[in-house]
Each structure stands twice: as C-alpha cells, then as structure tokens.
Amino acid sequence: MLLIKNADIYTPNHIGVKDILIGEEKILAIEDHIEFDGKYCKYWDAAGKTVTPGFIDQHIHITGAGGKHGFASMTPEIKLSDLIACGSTTVVGLLGTDGTARSIKNLYAKTMSLESEGISAYMFTGYYGIEPTYITNTIQDDMIFIDKVLGCKIAITDIRSSYPTELELLRMLRQITVGGMIANKKGILHIHLGNLKPKMDILFKLVEEYEFPISHISPTHVGRTKALFEQAIAFAKLGGMIDITTGASKYTDPYKAVLYALENGISIDKMTFSSDGNAGLDKLDENGKLIGFRKAPIDQNYLQVKQLIETKEVSIEDAIKLITLNPANNLGLKNKGIIEINADADLCCLDKDFVLTDVFAKGKLMMENKVVIVKGNFE
C-alpha cells in the first residue's frame, strides 16, 4: 500500500490538507492523519502540493491520425511518457478521417497496450463515416462485448463526413443506448463538428423534434468558429455537455471560450476540455504555403486550465472540473475524475504556481519532481 501524507486536496471540491491511503489501485481512506505500520506501507510526502484527480482526455488520437497529404503525413502512435508528462491518467482513443489505414482493431490493441503499461485507456468505435467500422458487427455488439468501448464516433458538417441524416444518427444512438443498458455503460455518440453552414442544426432536431435524451449526444470541436460556439451555448442551455478542443480546431484560446460561455449563463458543469492530441496539422509559411506537418499538442488541456485559474475569474475547484469530473460524467466513468474512497487512485500533484510535478496512475507513481519515471515498453 501507499500512504500519501500532507496533500492539499481538491476532490475537485477543496477539502484541505489530508492523508490518502492507497491500495489495489484504489483510494482506501482519506483522513486528517493516517498512521500505518511502515512494514506494510510506503510513504510519500505531498507537503506544499495541491493534489487533484488525474486528468482525463476524452478525445485523443492514440494510434495517430492525419494523412490528408499522403501516407507520409500520418502521425505516429502516442507514447505513454507523453501522456504522463501532461497528467493524462485516463484517455479515450478514437479514429479520425481514416478508418482504413488506421483500423478499429489496431485502436483496440493500442488501448489495451496503454492500459497494461499503467494508465486507464478506453475507446470509441466508429470513425468519421457512417459505414461500419466496428470490432464486431454492430455498434450495439461493440458496446456490449468490448469492455473498453464507451460509445461511437461520427462526423457531421464536414466534407470528409458521410453527411448522415437525423434518422441515421437516431439509429446509431439507439444502438449505443441499448448496448449501454445491457453492458451497464452510459453510452455516448461522440460527434465531430466541421465548419459547414448547418453547424449543430441536426443535433437540435434530435433533441427537440425526436426527443432523444441529450445526455447521450456529445459534440466536440464546438469552439471551431464563433458562430458554432454560439450554437453550442444554446445546446448547453438545453442540458447538453459541450466539448472544447484545446489542441486544434479553435477560433480563440479555449480558456477564453469558457469565460465567454460562463458570461452567457452556462454552468461550468456543462463544459469539458479535450485535446484532439496527436492529430495531423499542417505547417504553413507566412504566405500560407504548406512546408511540412506537425502533431496537435496533447498537453493543452492542463495548460488551458492553468491559464483559466490564472485569470482569477474561475476557482481552482471549478477549473479542474473541465478535465476531471466533467469528462468522467460525460463518459459515465463513475470512479474517475474524483478523489474519494473507492475511486481509482489517479492523482496529479502541482506546486504553488500550479505547475505539474508528480503523477500517480492506478496508485503507482509515474512522474516525480517533473521527471517521468515509468515509460512505455519500447521507449
């Protein structure tokens, strides 16, 4: 077992300085003072540090993405150490435009690889297109029989999408929710939003005309344009959760989008950050000419939360919800995004300047004093 002493804890609610006892990858106790026989327990002193739940990235390309300029523009698979370095102890992998060279079975294999290397990893079945790209034969079967599948991805309002109709989306949602009922999962349709004129119109039809429960509809890239974000605010006012991309696809700094949404009456509890990390992006010169490729950053979730806190317009408690409790609620992960007894022992430690210094995943110390000490098998 591991006993963490003197941790200033945000659960995300601030509960002050406590000790945390960890065993079997779970939080066993949280008390003002815990004493334990050193023969059976290791000690780790968190004095002077803020301790939060481990960060969740619910949209990241763990097997790589890109490819719109040929095979050489495809990004590589992500490394465990890169995730640990930015505090991402839980990730949800997904495919992008390409469901052929990047296969759904390869995505599952990478998900299981990251899990075995020490973090928590999940996935969405499907990809941009409406045609089947599943591990089994249907979305519903994937939801039921593949533990790691939390929902399905689809793209709308993008020239790379299949231009799905509301009826096609409803039938996908039906498979997700029924499969989720049987497998005891929440089940969400994770929807890539492009920049075409219809924006989120079809999603409002699903909720308002067909009365489909909004909690199963998860739009992402809502901050791609100002007009799209205005629609996203209306969607959140209906009770939906909106996902603001931090690594790419944004019209303004993500933390500024959060402030704008708050000014317009949206609860912090209805917003999440995700990185779209490891997506393929173009490098352009000053004349807009393509000169190379780059990967979308994976560390911006935490860094945007840090900037949000530095504005002093949002409390630490509320800001960290964007990458802890809120994505856990969106995904239906009951033991993630929180620090409480029986929750998974995923923790991030930050210094007085809110700089990430230490990371625990499943109760194991993965980064200490800003140095990643546990790496992937082939790093």
SS3 string of the chain?
Answer: CEEEEEEEEECCCEEEEEEEEEECCEEEEEECCCCCCCCCCEEEECCCCEEEECEEEEEECCCCCECECEHHHECCCCCHHHHHHCCEEEEEECCCCCCCCCCHHHHHHHHHHHHHHCCEEEEEEECCCCCCCCCCCCHHHHHHHCCCEEEEEEEECCCCCCCCCHHHHHHHHHHHHHHHHHHCCCCEEEEEECCCCCCCHHHHHHHHCCCCCHHHEEEECCCCCHHHHHHHHHHHHCCCCEEEECCCCCCCCHHHHHHHHHHCCCCHHHEEEECCECCEEEEECCCCCEEEEEECCCCHHHHHHHHHHHCCCCCHHHHHHCCCHHHHHHHCCCCCCCCCCCCECCEEEECCCCCEEEEEECCEEEEECCEECCCCCCC
Is the alpha carbon torsion for 29, 35, 38, 44 positive or negative?
A: positive
For residues 348-352, give the mean pLDDT.
Answer: 97
User: What is the per-residue pLDDT for 68?
Assistant: 85
User: What is the per-residue pLDDT for 97?
Assistant: 93
User: What is the per-residue pLDDT for 288?
Assistant: 87
CA distances from 245 to 67, 84, 225, 250, 254 (A): 20, 19, 11, 7, 7
For residues 47-69, give the mean pLDDT.
Answer: 96
Distance CA 137, CA 92 (A): 21
CA distances from 349 to 13, 53, 90, 157, 270 (A): 15, 9, 16, 40, 25
Query: CATH: 3.10.310.10, 3.40.50.450, 2.30.40.10, 3.40.630.30. Which one for 2-52+337-372?
Result: 2.30.40.10
Q: Quick one: tokens of 9?
A: 């804890």
Residue 39 has pLDDT above 90, yes or no: no
Q: Which of 82, 243, 276, 318 is catalytic?
A: 276
Q: Quick one: tokens of 354?
A: 């809110």
Q: What is the pLDDT of residues 70-128, one digit of tens each?
A: 998 999 999 999 999 999 999 999 999 999 999 999 999 999 999 999 999 999 999 99
β-strand 2-10 against 42-45: which pairing, if any?
A: parallel
Q: What is the pLDDT of residues 125-134, one digit of tens each?
A: 999 999 989 9
Q: Pick the closest to residue 219 from 272, 160, 294 (CA basis).
A: 272
Residue 148 has pLDDT above 90, yes or no: yes
CB atoms within 10 A of CB 205: 15
Distance CA 354, CA 50 (A): 8
For residues 9-26, give the mean pLDDT.
Answer: 98
Q: Which residue has the higher pLDDT, 249 or 187?
A: 187
Q: Could you tell me what percent of the chain has a pLDDT over 70?
A: 100
User: What is the per-residue pLDDT for 32?
Assistant: 97
Q: What is the pLDDT of residues 327-346, one digit of tens each?
A: 999 999 999 999 999 999 99
User: What is the per-residue pLDDT for 376?
Assistant: 97
User: What is the per-residue pLDDT for 248?
Assistant: 85
For residues 347-365, give the mean pLDDT.
Answer: 97
Q: Could you tell me what percent of the chain has a pLDDT over 90?
A: 93
Residue 207 has pLDDT above 80, yes or no: yes
**54-331, CATH topology level:** TIM Barrel (3.20.20)
Residue 13 has pLDDT above 90, yes or no: yes
Model confidence at 186, pLDDT cuts 50, 70, 90, reads very high
Question: Average model confidence (pLDDT) for the chain?
Answer: 96
Model confidence at 249, pLDDT cuts 50, 70, 90, reads confident
CA-based diameter of the chain, in Å? 66
CB atoms within 10 A of CB 285: 9
User: What is the per-residue pLDDT for 124?
Assistant: 98
344 classed as catalytic: no
For residues 25-50, give the mean pLDDT.
Answer: 92
Structural domain spans, the chain: 2-52+337-372, 54-331
